[in-house]
Amino acid sequence: MGEIKDRFKAETDIVGAEIKQLLKEHGTKKIGEVQLSQVYQGMRGITGLVSETSLLDANDGIRFRGYSIPELQVKLPKSEGGSEPLPEGLFLLMLIGGLPTSDEVQNLTSVWQRRSHVPNHVFATIEALPIATHPMTQFVIAIMALQTESQFSRKYAGGLNKKDYWEATFDDAMDLIARLPRVAAYIYRRKYKNGEHIQPNGLLDWAGNFAHMLGYEDEGFMELMRLYMTIHADHEGGNVSAHATHLVGSALSDPYLSFAAGMNGLAGPLHGLANQEVIKWIFEMREELKTELPTKEQITEYVKKTLSEGKVVPGYGHAVLRKTDPRFTAQMEFGKKHMPEDPLVQTVWNVYEAVPPILKSLGKVKNPWPNVDAHSGALLVHYGMVEYDFYTVLFGVSRSLGVLASLCWDRALSFPLERPKSITTDLVKKWLKGEEEIWGE
């Protein structure tokens, strides 16, 4: 653990010094102009954040410290006999910056195992909720219950020197990531498996142990979890869960409070909840059409019906991407390798052929291609995880890796409170008439 922390500190010191110099020399350089429409329309295209862990290209998709998903599938360490990357490796890459060795990854697995204890009051808090409570709500409440363990919060209350914020943040991030699989598995087993809980297996990696605690021992499912936890981990800094975590963290709210905020954002249907919406939509389509494998023509009609009801087609479109999401492609490759004959998986592929031309024909959808959520559910159903309300929790466990690594960087680089300026339409009207100025012009 000490070694990871020391390497992180050394790396952030170097980058921190570079940023200082860079701002000294180029701090007044403009990187874009803001149009009025962008202010009203979700700040699309406004560059306003720094997030060191990953970068999204509209056409190429996500790169983690410069590496694409197919590259990481080759270069990151795997479990013995496995072929999918271990998410521990991705975390080290995002946190420190270089490709880790197998020994480093194994060491992190052990560190997280040692830090994975979840206090009883967290389970008691979950138990106090009605069983019908959505798993994402249970997840967020459990994270809030875990906040009693925050070292940052305790140390800050005791008078923490600014220069030590990063270390308490780092310790909280490690503890929280280590504990999340146990919390998530507890919610799953409580809600769907009669409360028959499964103890952790200390011989397994972080994602493998998560699969085990969920109750899935199939090696195929464990491999899926390794891939799933890797590809959902980060999507640069502007997506709702990453941005919310960063924003709340900028108030020096501790990592538990900040991550819970991010997870509340992930629980929205336009963000992470889309993974449950996709499979629900496909199940409803199959039910209505009374077939396991609808034809492309039938899918086309069903998509048109969805749109005519004023709904979005879940799993399609993106605020930044303008091509098929490489995370969709990685899952499609997994499906081709492990379950090419599965009718649900084939349906996902048929939907992929049917939807883009229809969305294109609307003329307003900027990206008609599938995102990560269009595929994930069908792979999970294949291994028997049919409880789709739970899917966003899986996304959330994975997302902790990126947003908490980023939060460590935020504190190490001493990023300030985030506080953009807002305006009113009344001010805009006066500004357009030349009667008032907009601050910052």
| Identity at 412, one-letter amino acid code | A
Q: Which residues bind ligand NMX (CB under 6 A)?
A: 270-272, 274, 312-319, 359, 364-367, 371-373
Number of residues lying near ligand MLT (CB under 6 A): 8
Nearest approach, Cβ of residue 245 and ligand MLT (Å): 11
Give dist(CA 276, CA 269) in Å, integer. 8
User: What does 247 interact with, of ligand NMX, ligand MLT, none (CB < 5 to 8 A by kind)?
Assistant: none
- Tell me which of 243, 271, 375, 382 is the catalytic residue: 271
Is 329 an interacting residue with respect to ligand MLT (CB under 6 A)? no
The stretch among 77-85, 141-149, 314-322, 356-364 that binds ligand MLT (CB under 6 A) is 314-322
In the bound state with ligand MLT, the residue whose beta carbon lies nearer, of 265 and 294, is: 265
Which residue number has the CB closest to ligand NMX?
317
Instruction: Decide which of ligand NMX, ligand MLT, none touches 286; Cβ closer than 5 to 8 Å per partner kind.
Output: none
Regarding 239 and contact with ligand MLT (CB under 6 A), the answer is yes
Structural tokens at position 55: 């970068």
Catalytic residue from among 232, 235, 243, 318: 318
Alpha helix positions (H), 196-310:
206-214, 219-231, 240-249, 255-266, 274-289, 296-308
Examine residue 319 and tell whether it contacts ligand MLT (CB under 6 A).
yes
CB under 8 Å to 28, separation ≥6 — which residues?
none
Alpha-carbon distance of 391 to 380, in angstroms, equals 9
Near ligand MLT in 253-312, by CB under 6 A: 271
Residues 179 and 149: their CA atoms lie apart, in Å, by 11
Distances (CA, A) of 101 to 3, 90, 133: 14, 11, 41
Q: Which of the listed partners (ligand NMX, ligand MLT, none) does 14 bind, with a CB threshold of 5 to 8 Å by partner kind?
A: none
Query: Whose Cβ is closer to ligand NMX: residue 47's or residue 291's?
Result: 47
Q: Which does 364 bind (CB under 5 to 8 A by kind): ligand MLT, ligand NMX, none?
A: ligand NMX
Which lies closer to ligand MLT via its Cβ, residue 123 or residue 139?
139
Q: Which residues contact residue 257 at a Cβ distance below 8 angstroms, ignoring those fewer than 6 apart?
A: 144, 147, 150, 248
> For residue 436, what is the DSSP state?
S
- Give the largest Cα separation in the chain, rounded: 70
Which residues, numbered 355-394, are part of the site for ligand MLT (CB under 6 A)? 371-372
Distance of CA 323 to the CA centre of its chain: 19
Rounded least distance, CB 241 to ligand MLT, Å = 6
User: How many other CB atoms are there within 10 angstroms of residue 128's CB atom?
Assistant: 10
Contact 405, 94 (CB under 8 A): yes
271 is catalytic: yes
Helices (H) and strands (E) in the chain, counts: 20, 2
Quote the least distance from Cβ 103 to ligand NMX, whole Å: 33
Judging by DSSP bridges, how do beta strands 61-64 and 54-57 pair with one another?
antiparallel
Q: Between 146 and 267, name the residue whose CB sits nearer to ligand NMX.
A: 267
How far is the C-alpha of 2 from the C-alpha of 113, rounded, in Å?
A: 15
Query: By three-state DSSP, how is residue 292 classified?
Result: coil
What minimum distance in Å lies between the beta carbon of 351 and ligand NMX? Answer: 11
Q: How far is the CB of 391 from ligand MLT (least distance, A)?
A: 14
**In this structure, what token pair is assigned to residue 164?**
């030590």
Could you tell which of ligand NMX, ligand MLT, none binds residue 183, using a CB distance below 5 to 8 A set by kind?
A: none
Cα 170–Cα 174–Cα 180 angle in degrees, nearest 5: 140
Our answer to whether residue 243 is catalytic in this structure is: no
Kindly tell me which of 65 and 399 has the beta carbon lying closer to ligand NMX: 399
Would you call 373 a catalytic residue per the annotation?
A: yes
* Closer CB to ligand NMX, 108 or 394, in the complex: 394
Q: Which stretch binds ligand MLT (CB under 6 A): 45-53, 315-323, 337-345, 346-354?
A: 315-323
Q: How far is CA 143 from CA 138, 186, 241, 314, 398, in A?
A: 9, 13, 15, 27, 14
> Is 235 a binder of ligand MLT (CB under 6 A)?
yes
Q: Is 193 exposed, middle or buried (0-12, 13-18, 19+ CB in 10 A)?
A: middle
Beta bridge partners, 57, equal: 61
Q: Which residue is nearest to ligand MLT (CB)?
A: 239
Q: Which residue is catalytic, options 246, 373, 382, 410?
A: 373
Instruction: Give the nearer residue to ligand MLT in terms of CB position, either 155 or 271.
Output: 271
Q: Which is nearer to ligand MLT, 339 or 372 (CB)?
A: 372
Work out what residue 324 binds among ligand MLT, ligand NMX, none; the CB cut-off runs from 5 to 8 Å by kind: none
The residues annotated as belonging to the active site are 271, 318, 373
Can you give the binding site for ligand MLT, defined by CB under 6 A?
235, 239, 271, 318-320, 371-372
